Amino acid sequence: MSSPAVVLPGDALPLSLPSTSSAAAPIALGPGVLHVVDKRTAGTGARGETVVAVRAGVLGYLAGKGVKREQQQEGGVEMQGAGAEKEKEKEKGKARAGERWWIEGNGKRYLPALGESVIGIISARHAEGYRVDIASSSHASLDALAFEGATKRNKPNLKVGTLVYARVSLAHKDMETELECVNPNTGKGEGFGELKEGFLLEGLSLGLCRNLLRPTSPILDRLSALLDFPFELATGTNGRVWVKAAEARETIVLARCLARADAEGLAGLDKGWVEGLGV
Amino acid sequence: MPREADVNLSSKAFVTSALAQGLRVDGRSPLELRELAISFGRELGNVTIRLGKTTVLAHTSISLAAPSPERPYEGTLAVHTELSPMASPFHDQIGRASDEEVLLTRMVDKAIRRSGAVDREALCIVAGEKVWALTLTLHFLTDDGNLLDAAVLASILSLKHFRRPDVTVVGSEVTVHTEDERVPVPLAIHYTPICITFAFFESIPQPILDPTHLETQLATSFLNLALTPQRELLVVSKTGGSPLEGDEVMCCVGWAVERVREVNERIEKALKEDLQKRVLEVR
């Protein structure tokens, strides 16, 4: 079991790319990993390709489906010389289907990415839609018709300052980010739309939000175990969490727990501290 | 120029309804200060004050100068404050003072300089010729509300922590001793001004003390009180906002006296502990 590899932006990653000629299944390069093709050598046979990290963090690796269970290591990677892998590549070709590489890092600056769910604050209304502040470098646009059951005559009427839970439908570094509050295929809201009442926590680290969005989130489980009142929580990948409980007192406790989890991690949410909050 | 957007509607409704029940979002009671952290730098007079997340750094320096002709027996104290985007992205350009910055600078000036806390006559070396010129510089590192209280605390602590070089005057010959020759001497400070800020909200009778950034955005008026631990009122500042009754102000003064006493105990303790760690003697 090797120790997790920490990489910095610009580091070349030691993974061998499947050659174009073999029938190898594509490997997935996730967030923070960039495939760089050197255009000068393309077409001359010797392809100058490298895989480079563009974020700082721990390198995450998930082996392909063909690899035996014992050999799979999630969250760690073995640094092997590219040469050693080349011979085994052909046999491994099929085994590498579903192989994934990504960078796990933490930070507070959100970069919009396609498909992510974010919490936005409406900052302006236009005829065609809304301008939404999603805590990134520029505002995003939300079409007035991108809601469940919205027609030209029946558009939702959201005021400036309203909170919305939306999905990023277009994210490109040269274009304005676009959001939608509906699943375009089914036409259903699926939880997106206006968030009423409650309280918004901003400026949380992106790592905490990713933790909360996992199918089984350790922090959310701990909160359910420690807090004995029902609550509602919506997490945006842009560092914002909306919380709501029946009483103001309870909402405040929940907000403080999340702030503490952000500052001190799961360990900060111990029973003694939570009970000291006086709920 | 990023203009700060208003608070979102959900949080606004929530914070005001919680305040009506006497609850604050960070769990404090209405008249409770945030956690105060005091740290001293390597140089004497270098102090960082943290009030919750709000962070202010104060630094005192001194130089020889000629006195002003109107006041030949007094030294001078200049307070420099500059609010830069380092504190928060909404204090946009350095050099262009927003309303908030002007109020902040004026209050710090009134509380620290114009109140006469630092004895300027004691800074005189040779009357009419040479005096000490003190410069207090404030750096606002993080703005999470209530920069003023943190700034005043940092300022007075910096001045109390600072030591100036000792001076011998023979006739009109002035010898400034270095640290190796003579122990540096503290400044003559009469009292410790401490500022307490109250925030008022519409239709909520109970004001809160030491507002965070979110509470500052939602408040309808503010009252800044600068007092000494000896129960003397130095500055009362209420700039705009909704009107206050006279007895409301007196109530606030009463609460402020309590808080100032507690804060003064903390800063005296911190000063004593720090000076014990330093070697201020000549061998």
Pick from A200, A251, A253: CB nearest B8: A200
**Does residue A257 carry a pLDDT above 70?**
yes
A 101-140 residues with CB < 8 A to B: 121, 123, 133
Chain centre distance of CA A216? 15
pLDDT in tens, B49-103: 999 999 999 999 999 999 999 999 999 999 998 788 888 777 766 656 677 788 8
Subunit contact A199:B10, Cβ cutoff 8 A: yes
> Which residue in B has a C-alpha nearest to residue A135's C-alpha?
B5
Residue of B124 and A98 predicted with greater confidence: B124
Closest residue, chain A, to B7 (C-alpha) = A161
- Residues in chain A closer than 8 A to B26 (CB atoms): 256
CB-based contact A226:A215 (threshold 8 Å): no
Average confidence score pLDDT of chain A = 80
* Closest A-chain CA to B27: A252
**Partner-chain contact B10 A195, CB within 8 Å:** yes
Nearest CA in chain A to B24: A252
Percent of chain B with pLDDT over 90: 69
B5 vs A33: CA distance, rounded Å: 35
Flag whether pLDDT at B180 surpasses 60: yes
List of chain A residues whose C-beta atoms are within 8 Å of the C-beta of residue B21: 248-249
Give the model's pLDDT for residue A81.
Answer: 38
- A130, A199, A253, best to mutate vs chain B, most B CBs in 10 Å: A199
| Range scoring the smallest mean pLDDT among A15-19, A81-85, A203-207, A226-230 | A81-85
Contacts of B14 in chain A (CB under 8 A): 197-199, 248, 251
For residues A52 and A73, the model is more confident at: A52
- Residue B202 CA neighbour count, 13 Å, CB half: 7
Q: What is the pLDDT of residues B150-160, one digit of tens each?
A: 999 999 999 99
CA angle (A65 as vertex; A89, A72 as ends), nearest 5: 85
Name the residue among B119, B137, B139 with its Cα closest to residue B76: B119
Backbone angles phi, psi at A137, to 5 degrees: -65, -30
Contact B8 A162 (CB under 8 A): yes
pLDDT at A88: 44
Task: Give the distance from residue B177's alpha carbon to the nearest chain A alpha carbon, in angstroms.
Answer: 48
For A245, the closest chain B residue by CA position comes to B14
Q: What are the φ and ψ backbone dihedral angles of A67, each rounded to 5 degrees?
A: -80, 145
pLDDT at residue B187 in the model: 93
Q: How far is A59 from chain B (nearest CA, A)?
A: 32
By the 8 A CB rule, do A192 and B9 touch?
A: no
Contact A20, A49 (CB under 8 A): no
Backbone angles phi, psi at A74, to 5 degrees: -95, 130
Q: What is the pLDDT of residues B19-52, one digit of tens each?
A: 999 999 999 999 999 999 999 999 999 999 999 9
Q: How far is B91 from chain A (nearest CA, A)?
A: 17
Minimal Cα–Cα distance from A29 to chain B, Å?
A: 34
Which residues from chain A sit within 8 angstroms of residue B8, using beta carbons? 121, 161-163, 200
pLDDT of B196-255, one tens digit each? 999 999 888 899 999 999 999 999 999 999 999 999 999 999 988 888 889 999 999 999
> What residue has token string 């109250």?
B198
Instruction: For residue A252, give the nearest of B10, B12, B25 by CB distance.
Output: B25
pLDDT value at residue A274 = 83
What sign does the dihedral A22-A28-A29-A35 (CA atoms) show? positive
- What sign does the CA torsion over A23, A29, A33, A39 have? positive
Number of neighbours of residue A264 by Cβ within 10 angstroms: 12
What's residue B280's pLDDT?
A: 62
Closest-CA distance of chain A to residue B148, Å? 23
Mutate to test the interface with B, among A133, A159, A164, A200 (most CBs of B within 10 A): A200
Residue B24 gets which letter from DSSP? -
Q: Name B68's Cβ contacts closer than 8 Å, sequence gap at least 6.
A: B74, B76
Instruction: Using CB atoms, pick whichever of A121, A161, A251 lies closest to residue B14.
Output: A251
pLDDT in tens, B97-106: 677 788 888 9
Sign of CA dihedral A246, A250, A255, A261: negative
Q: Is A248 on the interface with B (CB under 8 A)?
A: yes
A97 vs A265, more confident: A265
Number of C-beta neighbours around residue B149 at 10 A: 29
Q: Which residue has the tokens 């909520």?
A: B204
Cβ atoms of A135 and A168 within 8 Å: the answer is no
Q: Nearest CA to CA, how far is A202 from chain B (Å)?
A: 11
> Which of A160, A242, A252 is facing B27, going by the closest CB pair?
A252
User: Which residue in B has a C-alpha nearest to residue A199's C-alpha?
Assistant: B11
Structure tokens that stand for B245 in this block: 């009754």
Query: What share of residues in chain A are helix, strand, coil (percent, to 5)?
Result: 20, 25, 50
pLDDT in tens, A183-200: 888 888 888 999 999 999
Nearest CA in chain A to B18: A248
Residues belonging to chain B with any Cβ–Cβ distance to chain A shorter than 8 Å: 5-15, 17-18, 21, 23-27
Residues 196-215 of A with CB under 8 A from B: 196-200
Query: Per residue, what are the HEC states of B186-214?
Result: ECCECCCCEEEEEEEECCEEEEEECCCHH
Write down the pLDDT at residue B3: 57
Q: What pLDDT is stored for residue A43 in this prediction?
A: 52
pTM: 0.83
The three-class DSSP label of residue A66 is coil
